[in-house]
């Protein structure tokens, strides 16, 4: 989660190649597998489904509780479909584990934009507005939720202009081409910076994959499990003198019963 | 109506590591010190959910709400100074405890070698390599006979934590996470 907002340097490492996570050892992939494991193989190389609705396991396990967090606070169905397709290209499912779709990244972004983050509530957003030097950071008047609305619409417009279809209906390669055109500012927009939007999207995608499941992404800590990351353990005091220890991850919710 | 409080010798605005040490030294010398802090008081119990990277490291929960107050800055006098609208290069803390609370650096456990540097150096290079009069000044400030306090900024910066602070107040060039 290093690159996390609009003002980062351009030329971030490309994360849209499935091979990027090859180095990860996928040994501890247990928790997420129970939920989404069946869908991974099918999703990995298939063109993305056009339906905006999230992929749902057709036959959920009998004891699987419903997750009432899977609903929209901000986006409409069409925007959500575009976003869900885009984040899956940035963070695709592959042999290492689930992708952004299965991790609930688009829900994470939706929920973030619905609250103070989307309204830039803790940022200084008062006039006057002047274009600044790069080192002076974001100087725009648009809020993050507005940037997302514009960015997603422009991604769809560009897809229509290039391929005659909406972004969510494109093949994976075509979607990559659209995302790259935004990343490299080949797309010229008047309202927002295309590359700035891309970096925002990429940062929020990584946040959704790796932040605590409390926020709606990283479902079942599958993002952490994939990387053998232990989550937030209360203490390592009992193992700090020992050899490398693998442990199941712990979430903030686990602290609620830790008294 | 402004309320008039009893006069004191020294008022310190911001009692983090810097102001805290100053207050400590001044009171040792018999002065009465009042420290002013803004923001809320925080206790250990308030950090039950502290292992939340998104909330603290990425959304800057412990830092000042920039919508209320921020700073303007520029890299040189030829460009227009503009407000820092979002956090990036440097962070402005808030709340009781200052950087002693929200400092997110890491202090590593000392290694065995750290306690043997002198003897190991002498062993390998000879005792002559060690300067005789090399002493660390731990006093960040000196109190003069008239009880006026001066801070020697060069000595002050010898503290690693204060070096971080000095670096923070320099014009930001790149967006780095500390």
pLDDT in tens, chain A (259 residues): 444 444 443 443 444 444 444 433 333 333 333 333 333 333 333 344 444 444 444 554 566 788 899 999 999 999 999 999 999 999 999 999 999 999 999 999 999 999 999 999 999 999 999 999 988 999 999 999 999 999 999 999 999 999 999 999 999 999 999 999 999 999 999 999 999 999 999 999 999 999 999 999 999 999 999 999 999 988 888 888 888 888 999 999 998 875 4
Q: Two tokens at A86? A: 């885009």
User: Is B146 part of any domain?
Assistant: no
Residue B78 has pLDDT above 70, yes or no: yes
Give a yes or no: residue B33 inside a domain.
Answer: yes
Higher-pLDDT residue of B91, B131? B91
pLDDT score for A2: 40
Q: What pLDDT does residue B45 have?
A: 85
Sign of CA dihedral B69, B81, B102, A5: positive
Is residue B83 situated within a structural domain? yes
Identity of the residue in A126, A135, A137 whose CB atom sits nearest the CB atom of B86: A137
Segment 176-215 of chain A within 8 Å of chain B by CB: 207, 210-212, 214-215
Is the ipTM here above 0.90?
A: no
Among the residue ranges A14-23, B18-27, B54-63, B120-129, the one predicted with the least confidence is: A14-23
Contacts of A212 in chain B (CB under 8 A): 52-54
Cβ distance B58 to A4 under 8 Å? yes
Interface test with A, best of B68, B85, B87 (most A CBs within 10 A): B85
Distance from CA of A159 to the nearest CA of B (A): 32
Mean pLDDT, rounded, of chain B = 77
Per-residue model confidence (pLDDT) at position B16? 87
Residue B16 DSSP symbol: S
Judge whether B122 lies within some domain. Answer: no
- Domain limits for position B31: 10-111+155-169
Query: Does the beta carbon of A224 lie under 8 angstroms from any beta carbon of chain B?
Result: no
Instruction: Give B88's contacts in chain A (Cβ within 8 Å).
Output: 5, 7, 137
Structure-derived torsion over alpha carbons of residues A106, B86, B81, A191, reported in degrees to the nearest 10: 20
The per-residue pLDDT for range B91-119, each reduced to its tens digit, is 888 888 888 888 767 788 899 999 999 89
Is residue B57 situated within a structural domain? Answer: yes
CB atoms within 10 A of CB B149: 15
- The pLDDT, as a whole number, for residue A231 is 93
Q: Is residue B95 part of a domain?
A: yes
Q: How far apart are CA A253 and CA B55, in angstroms?
A: 15
Sequence-ordered list of residues with C-beta below 8 angstroms from that of A206, at least 6 positions apart, any chain: A1, A3, A4, A91
Q: How far is CA A197 from CA A75, A149, A150, A184, B60, in A?
A: 16, 10, 9, 11, 21
* A-chain residues near B53 (CB < 8 A): 1, 210-212
CA gap B92, B120 in Å, rounded: 42
Is residue B65 packed enough to be buried (19+ CB in 10 Å), middle (13-18) or exposed (0-12)?
A: middle
* Residue B131 pLDDT: 74
Q: Does B92 touch chain A (CB under 8 A)?
A: no
pLDDT at B136: 57
Instruction: Reply yes or no on whether the pLDDT at B170 is more than 90.
Output: no
Inter-chain residue contact A207 with B52, CB threshold 8 Å: no
Confidence of residue B135 (pLDDT cuts 50, 70, 90): low
Per-residue confidence (pLDDT) for residue B138, from 0 to 100: 52
What pLDDT is stored for residue B93 in this prediction? Answer: 85
Rounded CA-CA distance A155/A57 in Å is 28
Say how many domains are in chain B. 1
CB A7 within 8 A of CB A133: no
Residue A85 buriedness (CB in 10 A; 0-12 / 13-18 / 19+): buried
pLDDT of res. A24: 38
In a domain, B105, yes or no: yes
Q: Let me know if residue B133 belongs to a domain.
A: no
């Amino acid at each position: 989660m290093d690159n996390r907002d609009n003002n980062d340097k351009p030329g971030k490492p490309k994360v849209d190649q499935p091979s990027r996570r090859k180095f990860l050892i996928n040994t501890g992939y247990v928790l997420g597998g129970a939920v989404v494991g069946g869908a991974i193989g099918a999703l990995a190389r298939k063109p993305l489904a056009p339906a905006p609705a999230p992929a749902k396991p057709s036959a959920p396990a009998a004891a699987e509780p419903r997750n009432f967090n899977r609903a929209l606070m901000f986006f409409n169905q069409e925007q959500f479909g575009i976003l869900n397709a885009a984040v899956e290209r940035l963070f695709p499912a592959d042999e290492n584990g689930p992708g952004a779709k299965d991790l609930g990244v688009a829900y994470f972004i939706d929920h973030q934009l619905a609250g103070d983050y989307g309204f830039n509530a803790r940022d200084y957003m008062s006039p006057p507005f002047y274009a600044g030097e790069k080192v002076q950071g974001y100087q725009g008047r648009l809020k993050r939720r507005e940037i997302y609305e514009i960015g997603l619409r422009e991604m769809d417009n560009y897809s229509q202009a290039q391929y005659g279809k909406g972004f969510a209906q494109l093949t994976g390669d075509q979607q990559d081409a659209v995302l790259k055109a935004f990343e490299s500012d080949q797309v010229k927009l008047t309202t927002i910076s295309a590359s700035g939007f891309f970096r925002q999207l990429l940062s929020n995608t990584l946040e959704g994959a790796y932040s605590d499941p409390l926020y709606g992404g990283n479902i079942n800590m599958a993002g952490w499990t994939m990387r053998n990351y232990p989550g937030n353990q209360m203490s390592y005091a009992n193992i700090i003198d020992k050899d490398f220890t693998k442990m199941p991850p712990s979430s903030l919710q686990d602290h609620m019963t830790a008294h | 109506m402004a309320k008039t409080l009893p006069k004191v010798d020294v008022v310190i605005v911001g009692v983090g590591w810097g102001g805290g040490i100053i207050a400590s030294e001044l009171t040792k010398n018999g002065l009465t010190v009042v420290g002013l802090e803004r923001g809320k008081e925080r206790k250990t119990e308030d950090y039950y959910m502290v292992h939340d990277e998104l909330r603290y490291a990425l959304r800057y929960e412990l830092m000042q709400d920039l919508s209320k107050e921020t700073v303007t800055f520029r890299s040189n006098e030829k460009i227009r100074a503009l407000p820092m609208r979002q956090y990036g290069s440097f962070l402005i803390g808030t709340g009781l405890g200052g950087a002693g609370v929200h400092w997110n650096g890491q202090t590593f456990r000392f290694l065995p070698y750290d306690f043997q540097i002198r003897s190991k150096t002498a062993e390998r290079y000879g005792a002559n390599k060690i300067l005789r009069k090399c002493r660390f000044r731990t006093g960040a400030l000196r109190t003069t006979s008239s009880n006026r306090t001066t801070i020697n900024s060069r000595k002050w910066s010898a503290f690693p934590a204060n070096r971080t602070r000095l670096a923070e107040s320099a014009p930001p060039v790149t967006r780095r996470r500390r």
